[in-house]
Amino acid sequence: MPLDLSSDVVTLTAALCDIESVSLDEAALADAIEEALTALTHLTVTRIGNTVVARTDLGRGERVVLAGHIDTVPLTDPPNLPTRRLPGSGDEGEVLWGRGTVDMKGGVAVQLRLAATVPAPSRDVTYVFYEGEEIESEYNGLLHIQQQRPELIEDAEFAVLLEPTGSIVEGGCKGTLRIDLTTKGTAAHSARPWNGHNAIHDLADVLSRLAAYEPRTVVVDGLEFREALNAVGISGGIAGNVIPDRATVTVNYRYAPDLTEDDAVAHMHEVFDGFTFAVTDNAGGARPGLDLPAAKAFVDALGVEVIAKQGWTDVARFQAMGVPAVNFGPGDPNLAHHDEERCPVSQLESAEAAMLRWLA
């Protein structure tokens, strides 16, 4: 069934959710979004795989990006679709229940409503509906745009990623670095350990450094980012009667966006001086850019709380393309991917109203 962009934001969110779009299976939803947007004569629509980009071209003095991913994590068993409107608990009020209501088809519905109901926004808008956010980076639609058609995004001054934030603004994001730090010993029978050297015991120094580490709290563009350094995995040993000749601890460093990816690696060399390690993942963070006029206008128009994003999101991909970005969208992020995923109806409505204040 075609999407009806004239329906209210809650009904539209339900319609989007009810078109299943688990990662790598977004084609049906991308088709529906492309069809609905192509019917809007004030937009120029481009499709790259299962990613759809729609742009206004009004000659405004400023261009902004509104972006949201259209894929979801897998459904539950039994499936948490089709969506249902239900009484909420506590102060939730009425909720829309089902996979995607939080992460993040509520935000996508807000984008579509704006595209349909604001044909002459106060600044030019690039709407991005992208695939493959919930899985490996190689499938991410923003990455595909960056590789194939970067001009579709790079001419923007500012971007809003409509990920769930509980309808507050979360600026920028922290970077994330993972390393595998390995110690090497000599295998021996555990009854005669003096014939070997225990690699697991050598990790004691690593773990003591982690326990004593005092992470930074850094203010970037007016927002406070709290760094974190933690062991997130440990392995070693091959049998209960063998002195282990190899042991590995996996460390995750969540670093503030004032550091580059190379800065983060250099800091790990400082912390673990004397040890060797391998970098297994490193994704840089993103500055909020709240000192920029476009960002300030956004925050002023919404009139909501602004905090730092303490995790990593695709706003970092925008920064890589030279576009500062923030996170703002309906839904409690703690309910993303939850079996009982649900979004208060009032948050869907208030998120749309807030974005209208900015663009209308």
Nearest to 223 by CA among 153, 295, 161, 158: 295
Q: Which of 26, 133, 245, 352 is catalytic?
A: 133
Q: What are phi and psi of 14, to 5 degrees?
A: -60, -40
Q: What are phi and psi of 257, to 5 degrees?
A: -75, 10
Q: Which helix (H) or strand (E) holds 35?
A: helix 27-38
Q: Which of 26, 71, 131, 221 is catalytic?
A: 71
71 labelled catalytic: yes
Q: What are phi and psi of 73, to 5 degrees?
A: -70, 165
CA distance 243 to 354: 62
205 labelled catalytic: no
Number of H helices, E strands in the chain: 10, 19
Q: Which letter, b or e, does each residue of 316-341 get, where b requires 16 or more Cβ atoms within 10 Å of its Cβ?
A: bbbbbbebbbbbbbbbbbebbeeeeb
Is there a contact between 166 and 203 (Cβ–Cβ < 8 Å)? no
Q: Which helix (H) or strand (E) holds 308?
A: strand 306-308
Q: List the catalytic residues.
A: 71, 133
